[in-house]
Amino acid sequence: MEEIKGELITVATLEQDIKKLGVQEGMTLLVHSSFKSLGQWVLGGPVSLILALEKTVGLGGTLVMPTHTPDLSDPSGWGNPPVSESWWETIRAEMPPYDEAMTPCEWMGVIPDTFRKQKGVIRSSHPQVSFAAWGAKSGDIVKDHDIDNGLGESSPLARIYDHHGWVLLLGVGHDCNTSLHLSEHRASYSGKKMVECKAPITREGIRQWISYTDLDYESADFGRLGVDFERSGGQVLRGQIAGADARLIPQRQLVDYGVQWLEQHRR
């Protein structure tokens, strides 16, 4: 059998790269990530990256990851893949309700799906756009996550903004930058509209299929927005974490720029 060659990526090497990028002790850090981007051989898998991030921000810092579950939604809107209309009522009746401890978030990748299970991590209560947090401000960031407008003013995104947090894009682009949805909520543009959403939750021990109101989110132009932010002189610290291109951005500056950009470019 051929010997595995190349760089061995460990907690120590990851921590070194994370610090070199500019992540500091005490930061509130929202991470969007691609595990595959790190390289072929990460000793310990996603656990090593999580430990390295936590060691870097320290006990006085806070680590946050999106743990969204878009599959907990009404089947009439499913398109990837769509399902037969004859299944819809059964899905609505039988889909397991959102459970902060149990519901997986595989749509978000193996790093956040591993992170959410860690002892000491707290996950917010939203059935579709939850966030998980570890560290000094974790409780403040995930508490009181409103069901309506799940990425708006009563969301973990807004609490990260309040705490002057930072966004780490690790092997992903601005098209994955969830903080720009907070910009959508704050911006005024003519095409902005609200939609009705549905999901299964548990209230007082009883499973319920609920309806709530949210913004009709759109991320197709986030890539262009991010490019313009960087070209405009927005603060972006660039580097490498293992094999991944990484960008570290102050969330407040990005969100504020996003509001202005959306008001100028969206119709």
Mean pLDDT of 35-48: 95
**Range with lowest mean pLDDT among 54-68, 79-93, 145-159:** 79-93
CA–CA separation, 164 vs 27, rounded Å?
A: 9
b/e per residue 41-74 (b: at least 16 CB within 10 A): ebeeebebbbbbbbbbbeeebbbbbbbbbebbbb
150: pLDDT strictly greater than 90: yes
What share of the chain has pLDDT > 90, as a percent? Answer: 95
Predicted local confidence at residue 5, as pLDDT: 64
> pLDDT class for 137, splitting at 50, 70, 90?
very high
**Range with lowest mean pLDDT among 51-65, 74-88, 120-134, 209-223:** 74-88
> pLDDT class for 79, splitting at 50, 70, 90?
confident
190: pLDDT strictly greater than 70: yes
CA–CA separation, 191 vs 146, rounded Å?
A: 24
Q: Compute the mean pLDDT over every residue in the chain, rounded to the nearest whole number.
A: 96
**Rg, C-alpha atoms of the chain:** 19
CA–CA separation, 16 vs 45, rounded Å?
A: 17
Predicted local confidence at residue 2, as pLDDT: 62
Predicted local confidence at residue 1, as pLDDT: 62
Mean pLDDT of 66-72: 96
Predicted local confidence at residue 111, as pLDDT: 98
Quick one: tokens of 92? 């609505």
40: pLDDT strictly greater than 90: no
Q: In what order do the strands lie in the sheet with 131-135?
A: 122-123, 131-135, 62-66, 28-33, 166-170, 244-250, 237-241
Mean pLDDT of 160-180: 98
Mean pLDDT of 115-126: 97
Mean pLDDT of 25-51: 97
Quick one: tokens of 35? 């595990």
CA–CA separation, 241 vs 68, rounded Å?
A: 24
CA–CA separation, 143 vs 25, rounded Å?
A: 23
Quick one: tokens of 208? 């319920």
b/e per residue 219-240 (b: at least 16 CB within 10 A): eebbeebbebbbeeebebeeee
CA–CA separation, 73 vs 61, rounded Å?
A: 33
Q: Are 184 and 218 in contact (CB under 8 A)?
A: yes
73: pLDDT strictly greater than 70: yes
